[in-house]
Amino acid sequence: MKLTRLVTLTLAAVVAAAISLNAQQPAPAAADPNAWTIDSSHSAANFGVRHMMVSTVRGNLGPVTGKIWYDGKNISSVKADVSIDVKGLSTGVANRDAHLRTPDFFAAEQYPTITFKSKRVVPGAAGAFKLIGDLTIREVTREVTLDVDALPATVTAQGAQRTATSATTTINRFDYNLKWNSLIEAGGAVVGPDVKIQIDLEVVKK
């Protein structure tokens, strides 16, 4: 009888302790209703740079991941936190891709990620806008301005909302320590200083 009572009291104490512990746990944070996730399989960060002053070499900087914040109505609500895995860089030429990943350019082993974090929005005409933020390459951070297309209407399919847009900017690669160069006989550079970047994003919210 005493043993049964002892077991009962012990179980009651364990249950009470568990209830007390659960009561002390903070409630899980509610999901941000304005947060959208970048759909990497339908997004891309492409670039173009002049070669020998006569042609343009184009390529993909690598897989794009991150978050976008947008309330679906107000352009001023847009924020972005985007990462690009430069180890996945591709121009379609293996030797050139390998060179671009070396310390001559992106030093991809040491600095595998390019990031963009927005700071403010400047509304434009017909729904387009400028997204100003910090672009970091090789741990060098500089403010850049992205020219962003108007956001289309949100589409709902398969239990999720989707929208998309494109953004462009031009940077000087020397500003980010991408300083390798060689001169051609005519005196111009093999690789031009200006790099045009286009980011195409599809984002999803469930």
pLDDT per residue as tens digits for the range 116-172 = 999 999 999 999 999 999 999 999 999 999 999 998 888 888 788 999 999 999 999
Q: Which burial class, exposed, middle or buried, applies to 129 when counting CB atoms under 10 A from its CB (0-12, 13-18, 19+)?
A: buried
Could you tell me which residue, 187 or 30, shows the higher pLDDT? 30
pTM exceeding 0.85: no
In words, the CATH class of domain 33-205 is mainly beta
pLDDT per residue as tens digits for the range 3-43 = 455 445 444 544 455 455 455 555 555 678 899 999 999 99
The residues spanned by each domain of the chain are 33-205
Q: Give the whole-angstrom CA distance, residue 190 versus residue 54.
A: 10
Least confident of 56-65, 67-76, 185-194: 185-194
The β-bridge partners of 191 are: 51
